[in-house]
Amino acid sequence: MEDSDLDAELIEAELDDLGHPFVIERVMTRDGFAATAWPDRHDLILADYVLPTFDGVSALGIAREQCPDIPFIFCSGTLGEEVAVEALKNGATDYVTKQRLDRLVRTIVRALAEARARADKRAAEAALQAINETLETRIAERTCELAEANAELKREIGERERAEDALRLNQRLEAVGQLTSGVAHDFNNLLTVIAGNIEFLERAVSDDRSKRRLSMMKGAADRGARLTAQLLAFSRRQRLEPTPVGLNDTVVSMGELLQSSIGGAVQIETTLQADLWPALIDATQIELVILNLAINARDAMAVGGRLTIETANVIVTGPPSRPEQPQPGEYVMVSVSDTGTGMPPEILSRVFEPFFTTKEVGKGSGLGLAQVFGFVKQSGGGIRIDTVLGEGTSIKVYLPRVVGAGVAPTEKVEPVDCALTHPPGSRPTLLVVDDDAEVREVTVTRLSEIGHDVREAASGLQALASLEADPCVDLVVLDFAMPGMNGAEAAIEIRRRWPGMPVLFVTGFADTTALKSAGASGSDAVVLKPFRDGELERKVGLALAGKVEPGLRLVSDRSRNG
């Protein structure tokens, strides 16, 4: 900004010493200066202090407002020291007097260098600010990612711990079940010997005192038999007869029994689904399950309370988190809920273990829920327990629904005449197979006393050998649990060699699937140890009454040719 042509030429001549090309834009008025003083348009402003219609101080004010980052240098012949200092205070970069233009180049170079340094600093600060802002964003994003990953890891750890807990619980229950079934089998054998000999003694004694003692012994043996039945229910070795059952009808029919068992202080409510699917279960056992759950619910409520029985059709989609819970599928659900004390986690984890109870000594055997667990799992269902401390517990039992009925294939038999060795009207011939000699002796004695010819075998292989020698047997009375070839395997082999041979199983426990595969259909095909009054004789009679024509035996070609 210069009004003197001569001074403008002198300044331009001095600038030739800058060492690189330059361009000068000259203005002389306020309007001209204001129109050109904008950011990034110039690198430096040289301003005279006094002009005819304008002055350097006003120009400095415009420059500070419109382009504050451009260096502003006064170049004047009338600029005094005080005025120069004031100009520097107001924002001027430097000043040069026209009498000392030789300082102009150095002043301009220094001003440009300082301007570049300030620009570089601002750029660096802006970049640092951007980095800081981006860093904060990245840290926030990364923190969020780590939090999500940590939450997912905790969830996976929780799922793994739950799966491991469920596996350990399942293994513990399975081990206890195997031990229980073995103990129950041996115990039933002992009870069979005890109960059988008690019956023999009852016939031999005549005085009332001895009869009373025998009656007490028989009662104890019966209680032992009921105990082993509960153990077998837990270990899933009980004999079940699954049939289509309407659970709504079952609940309604049990109304009076439940009320009398629970007492009048407890209010019983029912919520029954109208279009309930039929369940494929043992009708008698499901009544015991509902009664067991109702009694447990009553005991969980101090005084009074409300017990609710509900039925519903349920489709389970998620995998089980505990071994007692159902697998995915369609189920008929019956639940028993109470308003009692609820269960803490340490109790909930053990409720299905046999002999585990929180009741006082003498008020609970600890077999109720164990029996429910065994029945439900053997039936192909599951259980879910929802409990809240101080509010109550709901036990939901999931039972398989009826999806269709199968037709058992008919056996092709070939009758062979056995009248030569066993003429019509002769005493029925029975083959008793049991590895326990004492049990076998009781069985043989009872069957002989009712008029049967009885042969004995101590194993499945001995039974096969006996039948190979003489296949004309009216009935095979076969123990299930035997070393080597068990009863089911022996029965399958007997039926393969001698199709249609009648078989009656005698057992303290049995694998239901194995019995069915061996041809045991219906409760009349199995006699439970220890023998109840007349049960063995009655079922033998039924089996004999249902055999083929007198004098005929169903034998295989292998047996006939041998």
Q: Which helix (H) or strand (E) holds 244?
A: strand 242-245
Q: What is the pLDDT of residue 313?
A: 94
Q: Which of these, 218, 193, 225, lies nearest to 445 by C-alpha position?
A: 193
| pLDDT, tens digit (0-9, with 9 covering 90-100), for 299-327 | 888 777 889 999 999 999 888 877 788 88
pLDDT band at 258; cut points 50, 70, 90: confident
Gyration radius of the chain over CA positions: 51
In the chain, % of residues over pLDDT 90: 14
Task: Extract the tokens encoding 445.
Answer: 């004695």
Q: Which residue has the tokens 């009885």?
A: 454
| pLDDT, tens digit (0-9, with 9 covering 90-100), for 344-395 | 888 887 777 766 666 654 445 555 677 788 778 878 888 999 999 888 999 9
Average pLDDT over residues 391-403: 90
Q: Quick check: 503 and 476 in contact, CB under 8 A? A: yes
Q: What is the pLDDT of residue 129?
A: 84
| pLDDT, tens digit (0-9, with 9 covering 90-100), for 470-493 | 888 899 999 887 876 778 888 888
Q: Which helix (H) or strand (E) holds 27?
A: none
| pLDDT, tens digit (0-9, with 9 covering 90-100), for 61-120 | 999 889 988 999 988 877 777 777 888 888 888 888 888 888 888 898 999 999 899 888
All CATH 3.40.50.2300 domain ranges in the chain, comma separated: 415-561
Q: What is the DSSP letter of 373?
A: H
CA dist 438 and 452 (Å) reads 19
Q: What is the pLDDT of residue 229?
A: 63
| pLDDT, tens digit (0-9, with 9 covering 90-100), for 439-448 | 888 899 999 9
Residue 296 confidence (pLDDT) above 90: no
Q: Which of these, 200, 203, 198, lies nearest to 220 by C-alpha position?
A: 198
- Fold annotation for 244-400: Heat Shock Protein 90 (3.30.565)
Indicate the CATH number of 415-561 among 3.40.190.10, 3.40.50.2300, 3.40.50.720, 3.30.70.270.
3.40.50.2300
pLDDT band at 202; cut points 50, 70, 90: confident
Task: Extract the tokens encoding 454.
Answer: 């009885």
Q: What is the pLDDT of residue 447?
A: 92
Q: What is the pLDDT of residue 315?
A: 92
Q: What angle do CA 172, 177, 183 make, to 5 degrees?
A: 130
Task: Extract the tokens encoding 399.
Answer: 């039972």
Helical ranges in 341-415 per DSSP H: 345-348, 368-378
| pLDDT, tens digit (0-9, with 9 covering 90-100), for 146-172 | 888 888 888 888 777 776 666 666 656
Please give the C-alpha separations between residue 136 and each of 130, 191, 195, in angstroms, as whole numbers: 10, 79, 85
CA dist 160 and 170 (Å) reads 15
pLDDT band at 127; cut points 50, 70, 90: confident
In the chain, % of residues over pLDDT 70: 80
Determine which of 211-215, 477-481, 535-539 has the lowest per-residue pLDDT on average.
211-215
Average pLDDT over residues 448-461: 88
Q: What is the pLDDT of residue 478?
A: 92
Residue 191 confidence (pLDDT) above 90: no
CA dist 466 and 460 (Å) reads 10
What is the residue type of 363?
K
All CATH 3.30.565.10 domain ranges in the chain, comma separated: 244-400
Q: What is the pLDDT of residue 551?
A: 39
| pLDDT, tens digit (0-9, with 9 covering 90-100), for 323-354 | 788 889 999 999 999 998 888 888 887 777 76
Q: Which one has a higher pLDDT value, 533 or 121? A: 121
Residue 410 confidence (pLDDT) above 70: no
Q: What is the pLDDT of residue 171?
A: 58
Average pLDDT over residues 528-535: 84
Q: What is the pTM of this model?
A: 0.40
Q: Which one has a higher pLDDT value, 77 or 125? A: 125
Residue 422 confidence (pLDDT) above 90: no
Q: What is the pLDDT of residue 321?
A: 79
Average pLDDT of the residues of the chain: 79
pLDDT band at 404; cut points 50, 70, 90: low
Look at the chain and count its residues. 562
Residue 414 confidence (pLDDT) above 70: no
Q: What is the pLDDT of residue 254?
A: 83
